[in-house]
Each structure stands twice: as structure tokens, then as C-alpha cells.
Amino acid sequence: MSKTQEYINKGEQYLLKTYNRYPVVLDRGEGVYLYDVDGRKYLDFGAGIAVFALGYGNQKYNDALKGQIDKILHTSNLFYNVPAVDAAEKIVKTSGMDKVFFTNSGAEAIEGALKVARKYAYLKDPSKEYEFIAMHHSFHGRSQGALSVTGNTHYQEGFVPEKLRAVFAEFNDLEDVKSKVTDKTCGIICEVVQGEGGVYPADKEFLAGLRALCDEKDILLIFDEVQCGMGRCGSLYAHDLYGVKPDVMTLAKALGCGVPVGAFVTAEKASHALVPGDHGTTYGGNPFATAAVSAVYDIFEEEHITDHVKEVGAYLYEKLEELKAEYSQITDHRGLGLMQGLEFSGPVGDIIVRAMDKGLILMSAGTNVLRFVPPLVITKEHVDEMCGILRSVLTA
């Protein structure tokens, strides 16, 4: 029996089956390649669902984590710690926002953002039962609060009763959003680029309209940048491409580049909604996780990651356009930077499996979209390699 099959058998025996995992047992990474326990090599165009922005084995990143292990891993939020303060400063200064709360995941960051908006409204008028406007086909996480604003009933059924769900509007349809606003609306939440929903970038006019609407009604605008933020779209924060600032922004995934960490970031308007006792976390902002965050910001700056993403992202766009022109089953192509999608006329599951057999890791977004979210350090040569493998799969 191969090592792969041995671990798959153990996994089926001991892990709660909430995923239909691919029959691959990954063991290590190097650069933008992954290796399984049997030594097979894979070009990684998924980055652990848009997480491993710096690729595998970045020495400065690894050294920062190793150094922190020898100091202290955890203190609780009853105390300050150096990496958390340093990381928060970098987020505030680069975002132009005001305050940071560190979490353990993107879903927890969303939960905190929702609490900020509810409390902001409650402080103005505690008599109402407040609600959110969210977007159809959005995805904000698997916890119950995050599910309540996730625009896909498949994820909500059995977990979030209809009366607890947000009011949903069409993404990129400002008039539809306006029609849903009432005196009970406390916040509007949307992804700057919808990820799980099919890789749909927002229109600039849509985000600007949401900003004006929230200013007019004195409600909070929340941008979910868990997947599309941290350089993935060609700017450090995706909303920078649009010139529109949120009141609350959520981050995770590439924020820690592999270490589980998230954050919600508040503009000054929203920073005073939560006071001591309103929110907390045992592990959030611990020295180990925030040492990773701090290192990520340093490396992004030193290695000019966003400039690199713009260049290679444009090349990826060009090459995916060529594939779209070659194959009739590809019906659309969209995205920004190194967050792009190819839409097919049918399901893409078989394409992903066949590509994996040839040493290429790809992801889907929904059933019929191939999602390209590789490490941000890929080169044009890696794009060519990916396209070569994908082309052989599509031809076959």
C-alpha cells in the first residue's frame, strides 16, 4: 500500500467528513510547488485557497516564525505583546484606517465586523431589530453570523433560519441595494471581488454608490477582503483599486500566509462602537500569529509584491484569454491581478482531477468556474507551465 493510500484510509477513519477531499496527501512545499508523501510534484495554482501568497520556504518568513517560537507563543489579550502592536501599526498605516482587532480566521473577522455595525446602530437607537444587506452569491464564512450574510441558501439551510438571514441584493446593482434599505438596515457587506461566487469583480460605480448610500443613511459599509485582499488583485487592499474606503474591512488568508490569523479593521467612524467587554478572543492576536503578519507586511514591501502581481497578473490574463479563444467550452474570463476565473459551459470537477493527475493544482469557484489564485510570487514561466498542462487536459 502506498503512503498516500495509507494516510487517506486513516483520514477517512478519524477525520469528520465535511469535505470530499482529493486523493492527494501533501507533505511539503518548495517555491510554488507542492510534493505529496509519495514524492509526486505539483505546480500550485490554488495556494491553499489563496493563502500562501509568498510561496513555500520563504526564508525571512520562516525565520520570523522560528524566532518567535523561542520567545513566546501566547499571552492572551489581558496583556500587550510586541508582534501584535507592530502588525497592527503596519495594517493601520498601509490601509489609512484606524484600529485593528486580530482574529483566528476570516469567519471570525466577519463576525466581529457584523458586531461593530450592529453596535454602531444600537448606540444611535436601541429600539430596533437591526439587519444587514448582503449580496447574492456572496461567501463570508461558515460560522452562523457569517452564514447569515452569505448569499447562498445551500450553505444556510439547516443552520440559519430565514428570519435570521440578511436581506440580499444583486451584486453590482446599486438600485437593487437602495430598494432594500430600511430604517432597520445597520450595515451593507460585500466582497470587493466575489470569490466562491464565481470570481466577479465589483464595478467601480457600484462601490462608490454603496459608499455614498452608507454616508447618506449613516450606516456602516463593510468590505470583505479575506480572499481578494493582501495584494492578490494588484494593490495591497483590493478597494484601493477603486478609490473607495469602507468603514470596516476584513482580512485573513494571505494576511498570515499559512498561519491561521484574520483581522477586522475599523475606520475612525466605527472604532468607538465596541468598548471593553463587547468583544474578545483567547487566541486572536497572539505573538506567533502576529509575528507572521508583521513578516508578511515587511516582505511584501521589500519584494514589491503588488508590482509583481500587476505584471504577472496581466500576463496571466493574456494567456487565459488565449485559452478562451481556443476552446468553445470556455464561455467567459474575468478577474483582477492573480485572482482570475475561467467560466465553462459545464462542471469543471473533471478538469481539476485530470490536471492534478498531470501535476497541476487548480480550484473551482462554484461548479463551472476554474479559479486561479496561485502564490503571488509565481513567474511568467509558471503561467506558461500551467497553461501547457491545462491545454493538454482541455484538448484531451
Q: Is the pLDDT of residue 231 over 90?
A: yes
* Residue 252 marked ligand-binding: no
Residues 207 and 337 in one domain: no
Q: What is the CATH number of the domain that holds 151?
A: 3.40.640.10
Query: Per the structure, how many domains does the chain have?
Result: 2
Q: What is the CATH number of the domain that holds 382?
A: 3.90.1150.10
Q: Is residue 64 in some structural domain?
A: no
For residue 341, what is the enclosing H or E element? Answer: strand 339-344
Query: Do residues 339 and 233 make contact, with C-beta atoms less than 8 angstroms apart?
Result: yes
Residues 102 and 222 in one domain: yes
* Residue 226 marked ligand-binding: yes
For range 2-9, the mean pLDDT: 92
* Residue 393 marked ligand-binding: no
Residues 165 and 184 in one domain: yes
In whole angstroms, what is the distance from residue 262 CA to residue 376 CA?
19
* Residue 367 marked ligand-binding: no
Domain of 110, in residue numbers: 71-302
* Residue 224 marked ligand-binding: yes
Q: Is residue 65 in some structural domain?
A: no
* Residue 288 marked ligand-binding: no
- Which DSSP string do the residues of 234-303 spell out, in sequence order? SSSSGGGGTT---SEEEE-GGGTTTS--EEEEE-HHHHTS--TTS---SSTT-HHHHHHHHHHHHHHHHT
What is the percent of the chain with per-residue pLDDT over 90, rounded to a whole number? 99
For range 291-302, the mean pLDDT: 98
Q: Is the pLDDT of residue 1 over 90?
A: no
Q: Is residue 63 in some structural domain?
A: no
* Residue 13 marked ligand-binding: no
* Residue 139 marked ligand-binding: yes
Residues 33 and 154 in one domain: no
Residues 83 and 220 in one domain: yes
Residues 240 and 372 in one domain: no
In whole angstroms, what is the distance from residue 111 CA to residue 376 CA?
27
pLDDT confidence of residue 298: 98
> What is the tens place of the pLDDT at every residue in 342-351?
999 999 999 9
Query: Do residues 313 and 338 make contact, with C-beta atoms less than 8 angstroms apart?
Result: yes
* Residue 296 marked ligand-binding: no
- Helix and strand element counts for the chain (H, E): 14, 17
Read off φ and ψ for residue 189, nearest 5 degrees: -125, 135
Cβ neighbours for 71, distance < 8 A, ≥ 6 positions apart = 287
pLDDT confidence of residue 218: 97
* Residue 225 marked ligand-binding: yes
- Residue 244 cell numbers, joined: 473607495
